Amino acid sequence: MEVLDAVSEISSFQYDPEFFDIGSDRYLRTGELLTDDDVSALKRKDAIYFGAIGDPRVAPGVLEQGILLKMRAVFDQYINLRPVTSWFPLVPLKREVPFDIHFLRENTEDFYMGANGFFGPSHGGSRAHVHVDRELYGLDIDIDARSTNDDDFAFEIGLLSRRAVTRFADYACRYALNRGDTKVTLVDKANVITKNYGMQRQIFQEKTAEYGLDLEFMFVDAMAMAMIVRPETFGTVAVPNLFGDILTDLGAQLQGGLGMGGSGNINPEGVSMFEPIHGSAPDIAGRGIANPIAAVLAAQMLLEEQGYQAEGRMLHDAVRSSLDTGRTTPDLGGNLSTSEVGKAIADYVRSQKR
């Protein structure tokens, strides 16, 4: 916040923050996660700036599903933007080649839909019903399964809808053109998951042709390798939800660690949410040594998405300067505290006043 304050002191960016007590403390006190009141209040905002999530006092999955995933779904934040930038000297590769990969992870469908269930003798028989509720659609699926061995089964359906893939492809093409890229890379596993990713390939083919862009297909396993071997050959990368979750953690490490990763959950027509890619790091909470850079990079994305390109760039340069001058927390080799790094970055911003 100190950094955003500094930006507002020296530029036309002005803001009037309202704080929401959404998180584990309130949950432990009242049992509330993301309530209907939260949702309607947040719907009236221009953007959401979200702290890191996770608390050892709460069972894994509760906060993630009840807050983070719910926010992505109710605000229909269908793009998860995760840049992977070569923050030297933190890049753990032997070759010092600069790269700047912008992952666009689809954020609402695929194996993240919660379209799941059980059938079999322990679950009352062969029938199961799946219901999903999304901004784009509600969907009901009836399953009537019979197995030869009468065993119990668990299932998780990965769904892609034509409309959701089309808006995703549209966004990826516009994003690539804005960045000055000539191609979009689409990551999938279309050699095994043929229907979902086959349809997705076809839609991306049509869209990239419409926008005059090249389209490159990468299987996710080959992509994991290529990110290490030739990261400089990628620009705008579109990836479905689950593979995107995995590849962007690899990307975070590639660019210098989770502490360097910002993440934007974007609804281009609605309320977007910006967060550090990392969790809350409960093991070091309260000690003042957490690296604030990912949160600053999330603020950069917030500014850029709100139309403040130059101001966003300033935060990028401020982070670069804090690495170059060794003004970092101990995890990056420095000896400053969280708030001292924040102050160094804010000071850099203030020094950019024209």
* Site for Mn ion, rule CB under 5 A: 245
Query: Least distance in Å: CB of 118 to Mn ion?
Result: 25
Query: Least distance in Å: CB of 27 to ligand IPM?
Result: 15
Q: Which is nearer to ligand IPM, 207 or 278 (CB)?
A: 278
Q: Which is nearer to Mn ion, 245 or 317 (CB)?
A: 245
Query: Least distance in Å: CB of 344 to Mn ion?
Result: 28
Query: Least distance in Å: CB of 220 to Mn ion?
Result: 15
**Cα separations (Å) of 133 from 104, 139, 144, 161, 324?**
23, 6, 21, 13, 47
Query: Least distance in Å: CB of 208 to Mn ion?
Result: 27
Query: Least distance in Å: CB of 265 to ligand IPM?
Result: 8
Q: Which is nearer to ligand IPM, 64 or 347 (CB)?
A: 64
From Mn ion, ligand IPM, none, interface partner of 193 (C-beta below 5 to 8 A by class)? none
From ligand IPM, Mn ion, none, interface partner of 68 (C-beta below 5 to 8 A by class)? ligand IPM
From ligand IPM, Mn ion, none, interface partner of 170 (C-beta below 5 to 8 A by class)? none
From ligand IPM, Mn ion, none, interface partner of 100 (C-beta below 5 to 8 A by class)? none
Q: Which is nearer to ligand IPM, 208 or 263 (CB)?
A: 263
| Residues at the site binding ligand IPM, with contacts judged by CB under 6 A | 64, 68-69, 245
Closest among 111, 109, 107, 127 to 119, alpha carbons compared: 127
* Calpha distance 298→258 (Å, rounded): 12
From Mn ion, ligand IPM, none, interface partner of 331 (C-beta below 5 to 8 A by class)? none
From ligand IPM, Mn ion, none, interface partner of 64 (C-beta below 5 to 8 A by class)? ligand IPM
Query: Least distance in Å: CB of 242 to Mn ion?
Result: 10
* Calpha distance 219→317 (Å, rounded): 34
From ligand IPM, Mn ion, none, interface partner of 69 (C-beta below 5 to 8 A by class)? ligand IPM
3-state secondary structure the chain: CHHHHHHHHHCCCCCCCCCCCCCHHHHHHHCCCCCHHHHHHHHCCCEEECCCCCCCCCCCCHHHHHHHHHHHHHCCCCEEEEEEECCCCCCCCCCCCCCEEEEEEECCCECCCCCEEEEEHHHCECEEEEEEECCCCEEEEEEECCCCCCCCEEEECCECCHHHHHHHHHHHHHHHHHHCCCEEEEEECCCCCHHHHHHHHHHHHHHHHHHCCEEEEEEHHHHHHHHHHCHHHCCEEEECHHHHHHHHHHHHHHHCCHHHCEEEEECCCCCEEEEECCCCCHHHCCCCCCCCHHHHHHHHHHHHHCCCHHHHHHHHHHHHHHHHCCCCCHHHCCCCCHHHHHHHHHHHHHHCCC
Query: Least distance in Å: CB of 249 to Mn ion?
Result: 6
Q: Which residue is nearest to ligand IPM (CB)?
A: 64
Omega before residue 98 within 30° of 0, cis: no
Q: Which is nearer to Mn ion, 100 or 245 (CB)?
A: 245
Query: Least distance in Å: CB of 165 to Mn ion?
Result: 21
Q: Which is nearer to Mn ion, 203 or 277 (CB)?
A: 277
Q: Which is nearer to ligand IPM, 68 or 215 (CB)?
A: 68
Q: Which is nearer to ligand IPM, 32 or 64 (CB)?
A: 64
Q: Which is nearer to Mn ion, 167 or 278 (CB)?
A: 278
Residues contacting residue 32 through CB under 8 Å, at least 6 positions apart = 26
